[in-house]
């Protein structure tokens, strides 16, 4: 191993050094400062005679007297089943005062997208306990379903709720010892210390930490480390899923902070910027992360992703949500207007979408009437939303009796179905039961998207009659 004292330039998080041998891209580097401190870095660019190194801990304390050592290998994550219940920093080192991690393997963090030929189509339901997701935009094992939010919205509370409540229902019901277990891997990037404390208190209070691995990259940690964190998370997820047969749910928050780190490093490298200053390769970079979700034929485990991103200016045409939407299979919208009304969680189901939902619901998965109930509630809520605009112009008195029922349905849908609180866990039976309570506010002949057989079985005449009495009063 050669040691160089040939640093020529320091620019932001980057260090440039002269070398007299071929250095591999992504190779890990140790830099020893004149004060004896050892910092870790990674080769970002390698050309004849010069390499650019991004330093994970920041370049403070590095000068031309520092020594540079190239370790001859790419960055690896030490993986073991014993990681469950542990809290690590953004580069995979324990920060929970627990014992040292004794790895079973050390795996390359870059990883590879799953071979399309080997992929198994996602079609099994994951229950989050959140009605607006389970009932209207169902999450499926192996799916990547982002949450689109904006600054000041309670997306962190929603992330914590999903992390502690998510489960695989049929696995819980079976007593088969060989059935796959469920694990959550939580990757936080660029969050504040206050948010980190809230996350950890919630994990410890609810006992969710026992089946979780938590990676914490704080806002005052170097931006370079932020680019490594999701790869550490996904490497751990792939190990647990495809080698230990876990069903793994990966929650990544906040992807906007990750993309800002890419932009910061791109500016330090003096790259030609793309749209709004972000690197032109950001689409490729995000795809390398998102496409590591899925199922593999012949393997029992799965990796499911819920990336959370805050849209700058609540603009879903911004490059980060825009590119994310191209790669992922739908999105869940956290709505500022619903949040201002006090709904918890404030999920707007109308622009939200789960493209794989239809294959993950129905008989043998959730319940045979799920798809029809979802379609009818979407239609009725959309009708109620349109009528709200009309009421502002003509008033409720000018509307028909059926139109007034649609308005009442929209109000009840938000207050009873969407608004459940961040501490309530609803199973799919309860979610669909609430759905039928709401649909029973409408006359039978208005339920034109539901099979007659389901109407006969689940429609509640007393609810419809109750609404008539309440309207008369």
Distances (CA, A) of 224 to 3, 61, 142, 257, 373: 23, 16, 28, 11, 47
* 252, burial (CB in 10 Å: exposed 0-12, middle 13-18, buried 19+): buried
Smallest CA-to-CA distance from 208 within 190, 188, 186 is with 186
CATH architecture type of domain 369-471: Orthogonal Bundle (1.10)
Let me know: does 15 contact 44? Beta carbons within 8 Å.
no
Q: Report CA torsion sign: 446, 452, 458, 460.
A: positive
Three-state SS at 303: strand
* Residue of 403, 413, 419, 412 whose CA lies nearest to 378: 413
Ordered by start, the domain boundaries in the chain are: 3-74, 77-359, 369-471
What 3-state DSSP class applies to 431? Answer: helix
d(CA 232, CA 185): 10
Q: Print burial letters for 65-79: b (CB count within 10 Å at least 16), e (below 16).
A: ebebebeeeebbbbb
Q: For residues 139 and 330, what is the distance between their CA atoms, to the nearest angstrom?
A: 10
The DSSP-derived string for 397-424 is: GGS-HHHHHHHHHHHHIIIIII---TT-
Answer whether residue 171 shows pLDDT above 80.
no
Q: How far apart are CA 168 and CA 304, in angstroms?
A: 12
* Residue 11: φ, ψ to 5°: -135, 105
* Contact yes or no for 157/345 (Cβ under 8 A): yes
Report the length, in residues, of the chain.
473
- Domain over 77-359 is classified CATH 3.60.70.12: no
The residues, any chain, with a CB within 8 Å of residue 390's CB and separated by 6 or more, are: 399
* pLDDT tens readout for residues 187-240: 999 999 998 999 999 888 888 889 999 999 999 888 888 999 999 999 999 999
Give the pLDDT of residue 234.
96
3-state percent helix, strand, coil for the chain, nearest multiple of 5: 40, 25, 35
Reduced to 3 states (helix: H, G, I; strand: E, B; else coil), residue 285 is helix
pLDDT digits (tens, 9 = 90+) for 59-108: 888 888 899 999 888 889 999 999 999 999 988 889 998 888 899 999 99
Beta-carbon contacts of residue 88 (< 8 Å; ≥ 6 apart) = 94, 95, 96, 213, 214, 215, 216, 232
Q: How far apart are CA 82 and CA 240, in angstroms?
A: 10
pTM of the predicted model as reported, rounded to 2 decimal places:
0.89
Separation of alpha carbons 388 and 408, rounded Å = 10
pLDDT digits (tens, 9 = 90+) for 318-349: 999 999 999 999 999 999 999 999 999 999 99
- The whole-angstrom separation of Cα 253 and Cα 158 is 11
Going by CATH, does the domain composed of 3-74 fall within 2.60.40.790?
no
pLDDT above 90: residue 175: no
Judge whether 135 and 431 are in contact, CB under 8 Å: yes
Question: What are 97's two structure tokens?
Answer: 């005062």
Compute the mean pLDDT over every residue in the chain, rounded to the nearest whole number.
89
Does the pLDDT at position 116 exceed 50? yes
Q: What angle do CA 268, 274, 276 make, to 5 degrees?
A: 90
pLDDT confidence tier of residue 58, bands split at 50, 70 and 90? confident
pLDDT in tens, 427-473: 999 999 999 999 999 999 999 999 999 999 999 876 555 554 454 45
185 φ, ψ (degrees, to nearest 5) = -115, 120
Distance of CA 234 to the CA centre of its chain: 12
From edge to edge, which strands make up the β-sheet containing 50-55? 3-4, 67-74, 27-32, 38-47, 50-55, 14-18, 7-11
Among 121, 452, 164, 453, CA closest to 297: 121
């Amino acid at each position: 191993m050669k040691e160089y004292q040939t640093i020529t330039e320091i620019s932001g998080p980057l260090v440039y050094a002269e070398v007299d041998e071929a250095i591999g891209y992504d190779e890990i580097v140790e830099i020893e400062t004149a004060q004896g401190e050892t910092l870790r870095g990674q080769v970002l660019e390698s050309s004849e005679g010069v390499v650019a190194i991004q330093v994970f801990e920041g370049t403070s304390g590095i000068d031309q007297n520092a020594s540079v050592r190239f370790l001859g290998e790419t960055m690896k994550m030490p993986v073991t089943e014993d990681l469950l219940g542990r809290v690590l920093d953004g580069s995979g080192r324990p920060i929970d005062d627990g014992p040292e991690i004794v790895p079973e393997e050390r795996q390359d963090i870059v990883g590879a997208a799953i071979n399309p030929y080997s992929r198994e189509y996602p079609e099994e339901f994951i229950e989050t306990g959140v009605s607006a997701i389970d009932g209207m935009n169902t999450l499926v094992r192996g799916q990547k379903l982002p949450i689109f939010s904006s600054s000041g919205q309670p997306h962190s509370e929603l992330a914590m709720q999903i992390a502690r409540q998510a489960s695989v229902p049929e696995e819980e019901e079976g007593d088969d010892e060989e059935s796959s277990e469920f694990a959550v891997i939580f990757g936080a990037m660029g969050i504040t210390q206050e948010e980190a404390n809230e996350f950890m208190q919630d994990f410890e209070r609810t006992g969710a930490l026992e089946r979780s691995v938590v990676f914490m990259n704080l806002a005052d940690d170097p931006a370079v480390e932020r680019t490594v964190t999701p790869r550490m998370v996904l490497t751990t997820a792939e190990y647990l899923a495809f080698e230990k047969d876990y069903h793994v749910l990966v929650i990544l928050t906040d992807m906007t902070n990750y993309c800002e780190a890419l932009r910061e490093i791109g500016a330090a490298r003096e790259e030609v910027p793309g749209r709004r200053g972000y690197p032109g390769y950001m689409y490729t970079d995000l795809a390398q992360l998102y496409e590591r979700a899925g199922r593999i034929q012949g393997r029992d485990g799965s990796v499911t992703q819920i990336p959370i991103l805050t849209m700058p200016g609540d603009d879903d045409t911004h490059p980060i949500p825009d590119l994310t939407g191209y790669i992922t299979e739908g999105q869940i919208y956290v709505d500022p207007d619903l949040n201002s009304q006090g709904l918890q969680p404030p999920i707007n189901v109308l622009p939200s979408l789960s493209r794989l939902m239809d294959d993950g619901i129905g008989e043998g998965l959730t319940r045979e009437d799920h798809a029809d109930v979802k379609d009818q509630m979407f239609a009725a809520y959309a009708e109620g939303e349109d009528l709200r605009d009309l009421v502002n112009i003509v008033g409720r008195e000018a509307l028909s009796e059926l139109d007034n029922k649609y308005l009442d349905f929209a109000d009840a849908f938000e207050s009873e179905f969407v608004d459940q609180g961040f501490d309530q866990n609803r199973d799919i039976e309860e979610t669909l039961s609430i759905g039928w309570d709401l649909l029973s506010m409408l006359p039978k002949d208005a339920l034109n998207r539901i099979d007659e057989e389901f109407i006969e079985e689940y429609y509640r005449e007393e609810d419809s009659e109750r609404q008539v009495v309440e309207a008369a009063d």
